[in-house]
Amino acid sequence: MKAIGYRRTGPIDRPDALVDIELDRPGPTGHDLLVEIAAVSVNPVDTKIRQRVEPEGADWKVLGWDASGRVVAVGPEASRFKPGDEVFYAGALTRPGTNSEFHLVDERIVGRKPATLDHAQAAALPLTALTAWEMLFDRLDVRRPVPGAADAVLIIGGAGGVGSMAIQLLKALTGLTVIATASRPETRDWVRSLGADHVVDHRQPLAAQLGALGLGDPAFVFSTTATGQHLADVVELIAPQGRFGLIDDPESLDIRGFKRKSVSVHWEFMFTRSLFGTADMGEQGRVLDEVARLADAGRIRSTLTRRMGPINADTLKQAHALQESGRACGKTVLEGF
């Protein structure tokens, strides 16, 4: 089967950063589904692993997590899906990635593809939707109010993939006021189109801008990027007993400033459940089914903004370069081999 992989970590502009290869087609065991891949999207995790994680031995490292496709075979313990079913999912760190014609995935972390979306639109959703959902409803518990705080959420990095999903989930499932950060005209328009009630500029001090809105101190802050740069502002603007969450990887994170306000700090890593085989691992499949229902009901939409072409090394390198530029808005998707 066709696939894209690498054997040496490094920058994306190197000729062998990503290479078209041929691999044996895998077979499903246990709870596995064998999925024929129709579309994949690119996330920050793809570029981080390509730069940092060497393949084992002489093997190829195949990246890719977000995917949409069709089930072609199932393992003996699989019961949720059958051949022919269309599915979407975000995969697991410990297994080969979705940048291949066929891919094995545990059915417990798989959802049924939204019927109203094509494969490219569906492939834009899983990783960011799961990350946003787990942060908002499992970690920050945004449905539980903070006494005396404004019923509001500040999303730092609102135009990125996760921020774009967080805005939509909040508007679809809560009554909270959503404040998103964006700095360019096109990203400000994007977050407004997704439902953000207010937009502030993350290139300027955030606390003063939040104060000028006159809403009061927000109960929740969700930082998707540049947390180290904004931490002092967050300490100032968040409500006492508020809840703060992040998903990026700052070199250091001094949270002592939160002590006076008794702010709780939550780190979200979408791969935790599959990495450790947690008892509630199947929750991700349930969440993706709910995301599909919301999409089919028109309550959320795909965050696809770029269809870059076929799934091959050249196109994937372009997508990685765009992701690393820091100027991506929404999600970039590749379709077909």
Exposure of 235 in the CB half-sphere (CA atoms within 13 A): 14
Q: Give pLDDT, residue 56.
A: 85
pLDDT of residue 58: 72
Strand partners, 32: 106
Res 188: pLDDT:
97
- According to the model, what pLDDT value does residue 254 have? 96
Name the H helices within the chain.
44-52, 119-123, 126-133, 161-173, 185-194, 206-213, 227-237, 272-276, 283-296, 313-325
- What tokens does 298 get? 């028109």
Taking a C-beta distance cutoff of 8 angstroms, is the pair 243, 175 a contact? no
pLDDT of residue 281: 97
Q: Using alpha carbons, select from 300, 93, 40, 23 the residue that is nearest to residue 109.
A: 93
Predicted local confidence at residue 240, as pLDDT: 98
Cβ atoms of residues 171 and 195 within 8 Å:
yes
Q: What would the pLDDT profile of 4-31 be if each residue is shown by its tens digit? A: 999 999 999 999 999 999 999 999 999 9
Give this prediction's pTM. Answer: 0.96
Q: What pLDDT is attached to residue 328?
A: 79
Which residue numbers in the chain have pLDDT < 50?
A: none
Q: What is the dihedral of CA 155, 160, 162, 167, to 10 degrees?
A: 50
Cα separation, 104 vs 75, whole angstroms: 10
Which pLDDT belongs to residue 269? 97
Per-residue model confidence (pLDDT) at position 326: 80
pLDDT tens track for 176-209: 999 999 999 999 999 999 999 999 999 999 999 9
